[in-house]
Structure 1
Amino acid sequence: MKKIYHLSTCDTTQNILKEVEAVKKSADLQDIKTEKITPAQLDEMKKLAGSYEALFSRRALKYRSMGLNEKKLTEKDYRNLILEEYTFLKRPVAIVNNKIFIGNTKAVVAELKKAL
């Protein structure tokens, strides 16, 4: 299975998809803005990542505007926030043969490119 959760309006994510040649390598792409993440999909990601916190983006604009930076969040909070607001998911998240790749660091992108 090759599945990549991305945001079509994010230039960084789009550049990564081109770099790893996701379309050529027939990865299943899901734009999380137009096709919401289901609870089952998020739970699968958590199982591979180890926690919801690992999938949570503190860079999202709403993180500070909602005052979340001043709160102690639980795993349940992270899960609910990601399901409510797609921008809280670190992007991209790729699942390739039961291995998960989260975020856009050079190391993660290099590993994803190898895996695809």
Structure 2
Amino acid sequence: MRIVYHLGTCSTCAKIIKELNLSKDFRQREIKTESISEQELEQMAKLAGSYEALFSRRAMKYKSMGLKDKQLGEQDYKQLILDEYTFLKRPVFIIDNEIFIGNAKKTVEAVAEKLANEQ
């Protein structure tokens, strides 16, 4: 499986996707228009090791909902991501059975390296 979950209005996601020059067999999922299913999120969490690893504390709603002052558990992270797409740390790349989460430079470099090693 080769898929990238991203937000179409996110310039950082767009820049990363363009930079990586993804092949046509890569499925691009725009998470605002095509919501993530519970099954997809469970698969991501299994690859990532937790729902927390997929959760973005940078989302504007994180502060506005007062979540930074709450003790959140795995089920809370799961439900928040399912309820509100902005809580998914993005982009999320799944290449075969490996997951790459977020836009940190080393994460993007790891995706690029994985794709380069496949050729």
Residue in 2 aligned with 1:109? 108
Determine the C-alpha separation between the residues in 2 that align with 1:18 and 1:115. Answer: 16
TM-score norm. by structure 2 comes to 0.94
Alignment partner of 2:40: what SS?
helix
Q: Which has the higher contact order (CA 8 A, sep 6+)?
A: 1
Residue in 1 aligned with 2:75? 76
The one-letter code of the counterpart of 1:31 is E
Alignment partner of 1:8: what SS?
coil
Alignment partner of 2:99: what SS?
strand
Q: What aligned pairs does 1:33-112 form with structure 2 within 5 A after superposition?
A: 33-112=32-111
Kindly state the Cα deviation for residue 114 of structure 1 after the two structures are TM-superposed: 1.8
Determine the C-alpha separation between the residues in 1 that align with 2:67 and 2:9. Answer: 24
The one-letter code of the counterpart of 2:88 is L
The one-letter code of the counterpart of 2:48 is A
Structure 1: which 5+ runs fail to align?
A: none
Residue in 2 aligned with 1:9? 9
Kindly state the Cα deviation for residue 25 of structure 1 after the two structures are TM-superposed: 4.9
The 4+ residue runs of structure 1 with deviation greater than 6 A are none
What is the total number of aligned residue pairs between the two structures? 115
Kindly state the Cα deviation for residue 97 of structure 1 after the two structures are TM-superposed: 1.0
Identity %: 57
TM-score norm. by structure 1 comes to 0.97
Kindly state the Cα deviation for residue 21 of structure 1 after the two structures are TM-superposed: 1.0
